[in-house]
Each structure stands twice: as C-alpha cells, then as structure tokens.
Structure 1
Amino acid sequence: MKKTILEDIKINIKVKLASLWTSVTFLYIYGDYFELYVPTKVSGIINGNSMLDTPIKLFLASLLLAIPSLMICFSILLKPQLNKWLNIVFGLFFTAIMLLIAATSFSEWRVFYVFYAILESMLTAIIVWTAYNWTKQIN
C-alpha cells in the first residue's frame, strides 16, 4: 500500500516573519477589543478616566502599536541585514513589554488579557529566534 506524504514547501524567512507579526498584530487588536467588555472600561473611556487620557499619551500609544503593523510590510520589503536587526530589536522590545503586561494584569476580569500577553510574548520571542537564525548565503 502506498503511503501518502503531504507536501511541505520551504517558506521564505521574510514571509515567516511577516506572518508572525500579522498574528501578533491581530492578538493586540483582539486583546484591546475584548478589554472593552471589562466592567467600567467603556465608562472610564467616555469620562476620560483611562491610561490614554491626554493627546500625548494617545499619540505615544499609537506610535508604539504602529510598529508591529509596520513590521509586517518591513519584513517583506527591507533588505536582509536591516530586516534581521529590526526584527530582533523590536521582537525583544515587544516580548519584554508583553511579559511585563502579563505579570501585572492578573485579575478576574483580565485573565484573557494575560492569555493574550503570553501568546504575544511567545510569538515575538519566535520572531527574535527566527531573525537571529536567518540563514546566511555563501558566495
């Protein structure tokens, strides 16, 4: 009897990195969306009682969260050397941030947030590992 083997093509590292950043970005969006269901969150936003209660804080948060979204296209478009180091630097940065958020967000209503933070930190750690181990071309 013939044994069927599923095809497994080699995926370009740039595509791998872009897909990892895409997953991270979706998890950020879902985490922030689901946080709106935490009691008093929406009323706090409406009343101006939130972490992002000034134009500067809102801009800085926007700047921070633009990075993972931009890393999706940068992972495809940039030259390998710059691409590798941006993935390592931003991967380490976001891994640290998400581990800090996971460690400081424990509460009954934020278990989902800790879950997302752990997933995000795992994915960004994989980004760092993948970029660090970028295969070198021998000329």
Structure 2
Amino acid sequence: MITPGRDGTTLHPAQVPVQTKLAAAWTSFMFFYVYVDLLGLYKPGVVEDILKGKVFTFDISQTFAVTALALTAVPVLMILLSTALPIRANRVTNLVVAILLVPYMAFNVFGGEWLVYYGLGLALEMVILGFILRTAWTWSATTPAASVNSYSQLQHS
C-alpha cells in the first residue's frame, strides 16, 4: 500500500527482512522474560526468601544460578541466531526453540499467588512466541524480504 505523506511525497512501506522481525521479536520476548522476574521481586516476602536462600521452592545454589543463566541465555542467543544463521537453519531453530519455550513459560504462571500478574506476563510472552512461530512457519524461500538485499535497496533509494 502506498500512502501520500504530508509534504506530498509518497511513503512506501518498508520491507523488513524476516531475520530482523525475528530478532526484534526475541528482543521483545527477552524484555518481558526478564522484567516479569525483576518486577516479581516487589511481591511481599520474595526478597526475604532470597536472603534466606530460597527462590520459589528452589534452594539458591550454584546449580540454580547456572540453570537460571542457561535459561536466560536461550532468548538472548536467539536474538543473535535470528540474524546470523542461514535461512533454513534459522527457520528450524526459531520453530523448535519457540515451541520448547511455550510449556516452560506456561509452567511459570503456577506460582500460586499474583495469578493476574504472572498470567499477564505469560499472555504477553505467548503472543510474542506466537508471532515468532507464525513468522518462522510462513517464511518461504521465495519471500523477497527474506534477503537483506531487498532491505538494503530500499535504504539506498
């Protein structure tokens, strides 16, 4: 769709490469993933439990910290991989990782208290994972926006 601008020039819709859309979606997902946990620290009793060495029902240990870091690294690495992997591997990796994250994220809503807060966090994360799955699933080899060349050509015109 071509839209006339206020100054009479023609505005053309930008053709954003699929890789960029996926990286942006993983970045958005990462923000929610981190902020749900960060803002959850304001829940009464959480900091006291942390000072006693507990997070939810888990003992804080090196194993807990390594596991938490590894789980956080997944969406962080997906930001990079969405822009660096070849198209076929990129598509498969995005589909597999997003599918695996759906049940893991759903598990996080079962904390007992603050169901509305964690439910909203889960809903927002699921919308983004849905976008990632739809984008990767519908990504075809013939999509002109799949190559950075289309995007570069628009930038230089």
Whether these two folds match at TM > 0.5 is yes
- Write 1 or 2 for the structure with the bigger share of helix: 1
**Aligned position for 2:120:** 115
What RMSD in Å do the two structures reach over aligned CA positions? 1.9
> How many Å apart are 1:126 and its aligned residue?
1.4
Amino acid aligned to 1:101: N
**Aligned position for 1:59:** 66
TM-score (norm. length: structure 1): 0.87
Aligned pair partner of 1:38 in 27, 30, 43: 43
TM-score (norm. length: structure 2): 0.77
Aligned length: 134
> How many Å apart are 1:100 and its aligned residue?
3.0
> How many Å apart are 1:4 and its aligned residue?
3.2
Which structure has the greater CA radius of gyration?
2
CA distance in 2, matches of 1:37, 1:65: 20
Flag structure 1 segments of 5+ consecutive residues without an equivalent.
none
Amino acid aligned to 1:16: K
Q: Percent identity?
A: 29
> How many Å apart are 1:35 and its aligned residue?
0.5
CA distance in 2, matches of 1:64, 1:87: 16
Flag structure 2 segments of 5+ consecutive residues without an equivalent.
6-10, 144-157
CA distance in 2, matches of 1:105, 1:124: 21
- Write 1 or 2 for the structure with the bigger share of strand: 2
Which contiguous aligned blocks of 4+ residues in structure 1 show a shift greater than 6 angstroms?
none
